[in-house]
Amino acid sequence: MAKYKIAWLPGDGCGIDVLDAAKIVLDKIGLDAEYIHGDIGWEFWCKEGEAFPERTVELLKNVDAALFGAITSKPVKEAAAELIPELQNQNLLYRSPIVRMRQLFDLYICLRPCKAYPGNPLNFKDTIDLVIFRENTEDLYSGVEFNPVPEKLSDVLTELSKPFAKFKDVPNDQYAISCKINTHHGSERIIRAAFDYAKKFNRKKVTVVHKANVVRATDGLFLEIAKDVAKEYPGIELDDANIDAMTMWLLKNPLSYDVLVAPNLYGDIISDLSAQLVGGLGFGCSGNIGKDLAVFEPSHGSAPKYAGLYKVNPIATILAVKMMLDWLGEKDKGDILESAVADVIKEGEVRTYDMGGDNTSLDMAEAVASKI
Ligand code: IPM
Ligand code: MG
């Protein structure tokens, strides 16, 4: 029996291409693993009305880790229109499978390292080395949303909230509410994860990203907890910035930042920005990490127009594999893989279209494998 069971979740679009590339690298590195395919993605939404079918949920209960490609998602109405005729009248609501997976398995840490590998023509600066900790289960992603707004809810808000007065006479189908819910527990554990990481890897500073001056209840809570947690980590500087200013500072002075921690939506935003600083989404990798399961993925979407063309840069996915190896406790293999990636980037002989070359995803994977 293999040492590890890994769920293999290509999804759709270019997710399939980049996971094919990842397999080349994994085979070369010789991880003692069984890879078990899981159905997930747009085709299952259209055929079954569920992009993340129950059988795949069950599979994830029985694996050590998962590698996930990408999934096409569309706004609710467009998604409903693509269901097979038999499912058209059932009022099915499209839900993002990856968001659901994060919540279902309590994958509360979204870890997104953004490190520049020298020689990449797309680097903003060759020495950028940021690590983002994004809260992954709550905040504006809680899924508590109303459109139209039920009468009951507007009555309660009229009673409890002064600022709500200006909305109370708006017809209920003329506004919508999405709730930003942040718990003490959820905030504290992601902030602690960021500080633990900083301590373990000798990082000097943790920057909390928020908008506590305006979004006082939830972001205020997040910031207060960060101040408390920071007291337990002498030697690590606590820094904080508003999300708007943060986007500017990250562009202006990316080298001044080290570890960043943010509630879900701000983390989503700064992780795309930071990925661009180190070459774009072709280089952004992501780990969704819980207590019992972790799911690794490139941060990019499914890029449907490139599906099956093997055009997309697989480095983001290959770096996600490196994160998976580290998480499984196979750090030696993870280090070998990372230096193979660094070598290929430095040599610059194999480059995908985003890097100005015309190599395929598979060429890139073969080049990395050849350095292992
Ligand atoms: C990400 C993505 C997802 C998110 C989408 C695909 C739902 O942007 O992983 O950053 O918003 O979390
Ligand atoms: Mg995102």
CA-98 nearest atom, ligand 1 = 7
As for ligand 1, residues whose beta carbon falls within 6 Å of it are 96, 98-99, 268, 299, 301
Structure token digits, residue 115: 């490190």
pLDDT of 151 strictly over 90: yes
Is 310 found in the same domain as 242?
no
User: Which residue, judged by its Cα, is nearest atom 11 of ligand 1?
Assistant: 268
How confident is the model at residue 343, as a pLDDT? 98
Instruction: Confirm if 169 and 149 have CB atoms less than 8 A apart.
Output: no
Choose one of 277, 294, 322: the last residue of a domain: 277
Q: How many domains does the chain have?
A: 3
How far apart are alpha carbons 359 and 33 in whole angstroms? Answer: 29
Q: Does 358 reside within a domain?
A: yes
Choose one of 277, 311, 346: the last residue of a domain: 277
User: Which residue, judged by its Cα, is nearest atom 2 of ligand 1?
Assistant: 299
pLDDT of 291 strictly over 90: yes
Structure token digits, residue 107: 């994958």
User: Which residue, judged by its Cα, is nearest atom 10 of ligand 1?
Assistant: 268
pLDDT of 91 strictly over 90: no
Mean pLDDT of the chain: 96
Choose one of 246, 277, 308: the last residue of a domain: 277
Ligand 1 mutation pick, 100, 132, 268, 297, max ligand atoms within 8 A of CB: 268
The 10s digit of each residue's pLDDT in 305-338 is 999 999 999 999 999 999 999 999 999 999 999 9
User: Which residue, judged by its Cα, is nearest atom 4 of ligand 1?
Assistant: 268
Residue 22 CA, ligand 2 centroid: distance in Å? 21
* Structural domain span for residue 354: 1-108+285-372
What does the pLDDT average to over 120-146? 97
Q: Does 14 reside within a domain?
A: yes
Residue 143 CA, ligand 2 centroid: distance in Å? 16
pLDDT of 75 strictly over 90: no
Is 324 found in the same domain as 244?
no
**Reported confidence tier of residue 287, pLDDT bands at 50, 70, 90:** very high
pLDDT of 93 strictly over 90: no
pLDDT of 89 strictly over 90: no
What does the pLDDT average to over 135-142? 98
Give Cα separations from 173 to 151, 161, 167, 193, 346 (angstroms): 10, 20, 12, 41, 56
